[in-house]
A and B are shown apart, each in its own frame.
Chain A
Amino acid sequence: MFEHLLGYSETKTVLDRFGIDLAPAELVTHEDDLLAAARKLGYPLALKAISPEQTHKTDAGLVRLNLKDEQALCEAAAALWACKNDLKLEGLLLQKMSPPGVETLVGVTRDPQFGGVVVFGAGGVMVELLDDVTMALPALSPWQAEQMVHETKIHRLLEGFRGARPCDRPALIQLLVRVSRLALAMEGMLVSLDLNPVFVLPEGQGLFVVDARMVVQGEGI
């Protein structure tokens, strides 16, 4: 059956429904709205070209990070708008830069035998290289989510490795539980979900879901 990648707004709508928050961001579809959106969010900012045609944005050079002021933002935006000619561009996503945290991945994949499976592990652009992931069937209880986190090596970073502050574990557990509910509710429709990276911030500060990619089966939601 037909599979397709959801756009940013559609993805956000679905995640909202399950109480999964993306990092504070504004989708800008018109050049004139850029600076107003930036003022609303506050610097430093990340800027991403959003296109359903691109799987891995960083690899394709469609991401600009750590833009500290209007000048940096305008330069980056100009470069990315220029991609319009080559790509089907949904717009530019202006996103608040994540404070420092541990980079993780939370996702859902569809196994031919088991159906939707929740995945957790070390995130970022080197997921395959680090290969530090664990899986479980939805729905997860908080305890089962804890078990998953425990099975990974990155769990030690989350606990505060070498004097670093421990991360906001309850926020991570809550995210895993919510993603597992989404996986169960969308069984049969959801092909895969990638929340990557998810920055887990120090205790009490929550998380930053920086990027979300959702592939569904059929004509959409």
Chain B
Amino acid sequence: MWADPGRLEAFFTPRRVAIIGASEEGMYPAGVIQNLAAHGFDGEIYPVNPNRETVFGRRCYANVTCTPQPADLAVLVVNRRLVLPALQQCAQAGIRAALIFSAGFAEEGGEGRALQDEMQKQAAESGLTIVGPNCAGLANLANRTVITRLPGTPRAGKISFVSQSGALMMALYGLFADRCLGMNRLLSVGNQAGVTLGEGLRHFAALAETGVIAAFVEGLKDGREFAAGLREALTAGKPVVLVKSGQTHAGQAAAATHTAAVAGSGRVFSAVCRQFGALLVDDLQDMLDVVQVLDAFGERITGAGRLGVVTQSGGMGSLTADWCERWGLPMPPFSDALQNRLAELPHLKNLGRLGNPADVRGTSWRGAATAQTLEPFMADEHTGALLLLLARSAVQAQDAETAEQIIRTAQRFEKPLAVVWVGQRQPLEGAETPLAHRLLVEAGIPLFDQPGSAVRALARARNYWFYRREALEHQETEAFCNV
């Protein structure tokens, strides 16, 4: 019924890439070839452009049929009127995968729509798989195949991301990079003339090296395929985190039945996400927050059902407790064993019995004391996950030492630890980024600006794994083969 999402492998693991329309100027004509080389792609790159002898010192070919060896992926960065002839040449060259950056198709309507229809027809006839048009490419950071424009040196990891919008894919990549999150595959599907967003989800769901899937959804080409993607990801244990734009209510008013009147499109979308355990969040930072937690802790985040909160400030502690109640994260009292251990620490013994949140005063988190304070909480077997609330001090170097101690302690335990560190993030007086912040981020410890963001992310991640457990327990066959 749908295409085999395995066909996307040709796009993410090509050996010989022909870039049709490559040039030394223009965002994509020059940018794509430069990025592909700069990020260390280790296959062959064939620039194709009849108007040039060379592109950035590489020999340029007049036609995709004249490359030394047949390319296994064609990348089109040409004007839209050249797309159809180029695809014909791809077919002649035996190429079965084409990534089309070129714009001016269905998104413009009229003639563009007609051209896209023709493109789809031609592709179907020649057995060509299309990603795009009007997309911003894709990337596989596991093998450094970056066929898009990405700044910096991407960190390889387990997060895959799919969106329609190309500009947004690149911008969001920047946000992931800001948090030092490791990415696996990125895909922008553009107008979805061939590969759809749902197929992208299904591809990632089946991919061993992907652990978490993020998606930005505008419109769907095929809702059922999208739902199948969510279901396959749920079965595979790969959480999907989504942001959706344009949730319209069109068509509700004229509905003939009560049922139709109350079932708006936006509602159906969120219901489908819920049904298959996908986390639909409101905005981009929410998506990154929960992706980060899912990526850092995997299924261990279920420990947040016995969340310990340790705070440097009473006010922050009670604010966090409010959020925990709202999001249904239980905070059981700390055990006697833990209380006894803490009472033995010289700098804590005057605090008396600690509640949860445990209000542990400021000096306990200064430099070297940090590890001593944190260690008993991390070691406590009754605490499933720990949230540490700190306030930034005026001394950057001291915060940095605190951060280092947090990292060292956290690395000794399997227990999920997230940090809320409130205070200025901007560098002081034009200095470099505050060191403490950077250290935690680079060490992969989820760091938040405010308690609400942390609690939401922890609760959502925990909910995902609980829902999945239940869903698998009740996996009746009729429900899981019929989407």
Contact = CB atoms under 8 A, between A and B. Distances in A.
A141 B479 contact: yes
Nearest to B259: A107
Given A115-B223, A128-B258, A141-B476, A109 B263 contact: yes
Interface stretch (B120-128, B270-278, B309-317, B322-330): B270-278
B474 interface: yes
B271 A117 contact: yes
Contacts of B284: none
A55 B227 contact: no
Interface string A110-122: 1111110101010
Given A109-B259, A196-B258, A139 B268 contact: no
Interface residues of A, number: 40
A112 B482 contact: no
B224 A119 contact: no
A157 to B, nearest CB: 18
B272 A114 contact: yes
Interface string B451-483: 000000000000000000011001110111011
B272 A128 contact: no
Nearest to B271: A135
B220 A139 contact: no
A128 B476 contact: no
A199 B256 CA distance: 22
Interface in A75-102: none
Given A107-B257, A107-B259, A115-B224, A139 B275 contact: no
Contacts, number: 110
B476 A127 contact: no
A55 B263 contact: no
B332 to A, nearest CB: 25
7 contacts: A108-B259, A114-B223, A141-B474, A142-B476, A143-B474, A192-B256, A193-B257
Interface of A: 5, 55, 105, 107-115, 117, 119, 121, 123, 127-128, 131, 133-144, 147, 151, 184, 192-194, 196, 213, 215
Most chain A Cβ neighbours within 10 Å, of B251, B262, B483: B262
Name the interface size band of chain B.
35 or more
A120 to B, nearest CB: 10
A108 to B, nearest CB: 7
A117 B263 contact: yes
B259 A194 contact: yes
Contacts of B251: 112
Given A128-B262, A141-B476, A141-B479, A109 B223 contact: no
Contacts of A192: 255-257, 259-260
Given A113-B220, A192-B256, A215-B256, A131 B275 contact: no
B263 A113 contact: no
Nearest to B480: A141
Contact of B479 (A127, A135, A139, A196): A139
Contacts of B269: 113-114
Contact of B265 (A107, A111, A139): A111
Contacts of A117: 263, 268, 271
Contacts of A115: 223-224
A134 B271 contact: yes
Contacts of A144: 275, 474, 479
A90 B160 CA distance: 58
A109 B275 CA distance: 17
Given A127-B258, A192-B257, A215-B256, A135 B220 contact: no
Most chain B Cβ neighbours within 10 Å, of A133, A137, A142, A184: A137
B478 A141 contact: yes
Contacts of A109: 255, 257, 259-260, 263
A184 B482 contact: yes
B261 interface: yes
Given A113-B268, A141-B479, A144-B275, A121 B256 contact: no
Contacts of A147: 275
A215 B470 CA distance: 35
B230 to A, nearest CB: 10
Nearest to B267: A135
A135 B265 CA distance: 11
A114 B274 contact: no
A143 B476 CA distance: 8
Interface string B382-425: 00000000000000000000000000000000000000000000
Contacts of B475: 141
Contacts of A194: 257-259
B257 A215 contact: yes
Contacts of A108: 259
Nearest to A3: B256
Contact of B263 (A119, A142, A184): A119
B276 to A, nearest CB: 9
A55 to B, nearest CB: 6
A174 B474 CA distance: 16
B275 A137 contact: yes
B267 to A, nearest CB: 6
A184 B269 CA distance: 18
A128 B267 CA distance: 14
Nearest to A119: B259
B50 to A, nearest CB: 42
Contacts of B274: 151
B32 to A, nearest CB: 32
Nearest to A144: B479
Contacts of A134: 271
B63 to A, nearest CB: 40
A5 B259 contact: no
Given A133-B263, A141-B478, 19 more contacts: A105-B259, A107-B260, A111-B263, A113-B222, A117-B271, A119-B263, A136-B275, A137-B275, A138-B482, A141-B479, A142-B474, A143-B474, A184-B482, A192-B255, A193-B259, A194-B259, A213-B257, A215-B256, A215-B257
Nearest to B482: A139
A147 B475 CA distance: 13
